[in-house]
Amino acid sequence: MKILRFVIFFVILFLLFRFIFVLKTVDCVLEDNSLESGVCERLNQFFKGKSLFFTDFENEAIWDELMTDQQYGQAYQYQKINKHISGEVDLFLLAKLPDYRLVIGQERYLLNHGNKLKNDQDRLSLPSIEFLGDSSLIEHGYLEENYHQKFLSLSQALKKYEIETNKIVWQSNQEIHIFLKEIEVIMDDAKEFDYQVERLSLVLKEEELKDILPSKKILDMRFNLPVLKE
């Protein structure tokens, strides 16, 4: 008889947690960034009615949906959640801006770590890479992974060493033009971009070169020693 009571008790308890304590409202919290319109509404629609205690909020499909949705410029991820018995939750989010803008002909895209192409948003200030090669590196909404890693590596190196660019023209892997406020820089992909951009940052900081750079048009970084050209 005692066993039966325990079974009934746990069944009732399970039903309470599964069907009574359900999510009613999501309050989205995003620190140090702005939440794009419609994101919190999507999260409310997805999670409303789900169990507060039997839902794996971090691994639900909604995060992949937001990641690939063309209308959002940022990539949203789960950070943590505070639950209330009333059915309200505080959902803390992480948001990351795209890493770079890719321009191929008349088409413009945004890309994060993943190689999924997203529609451009002019309001975002990002490194812009104009690719002059074969447009076949784009297929079914994705950028060819090898090129994506090259573009991503260059954009991240520029951000790391705080070098602002007006634009980047990727003519070929052997000729990459980076237009700075001070001068036009030429690189290739023969060496790691982190190494090349670090060298560039050191060159730009050289006191004796600061007076020379304005009189030159090109700084070619493809050699063992940087070459200044008229």
Q: What is the pLDDT of residues 153-192, one digit of tens each?
A: 999 999 999 999 989 999 999 999 999 988 999 999 999 9
Strand-strand pairing, 107-111 and 128-131: unpaired
Q: In sequence order, which ranges of 58-192 are alpha helices (DSSP H)?
A: 62-68, 145-160
Q: Which domains are seen in the chain, by residue range?
A: 2-96 (3.10.20), 100-229 (3.40.50)
Q: In sequence order, which ranges of the chain are alpha helices (DSSP H)?
A: 2-15, 39-47, 62-68, 145-160, 193-205, 207-210
106-126: burial string, b at 16+ Cβ within 10 Å, e else: eebbbbbeebbbbebbeeeeb
Please compute the mean of the pLDDT values over residues 82-96 and round it to a whole number. 88
Threshold 0.85, pTM exceeds: no
Q: What does the pLDDT read at residue 1?
A: 57
Contact 180, 162 (CB under 8 A): no
Token pair of 196, please? Answer: 């090349």
Residue 167's DSSP bridge partners are: 179
pLDDT category, 35, cuts 50, 70, 90? confident
Please compute the mean of the pLDDT values over residues 191-219 and round it to a whole number. 88
Contact 159, 96 (CB under 8 A): no
- Residue 66, classified by CB atoms within 10 Å of its CB into exposed (0-12), middle (13-18) or buried (19+), is buried
Nearest to residue 54, comparing CAs of 29, 83, 25?
83
Q: How many other C-beta atoms are found inside a 10 Å radius of the C-beta of residue 222? A: 16
Q: What is the sign, positive or negative, of the torsion defined by CA atoms of 163, 167, 171, 172?
A: positive
Please compute the mean of the pLDDT values over residues 12-36 and round it to a whole number. 72
162/129 Cα distance (integer angstroms): 17
Please compute the mean of the pLDDT values over residues 110-134 and round it to a whole number. 84
Please compute the mean of the pLDDT values over residues 4-17 and round it to a whole number. 50
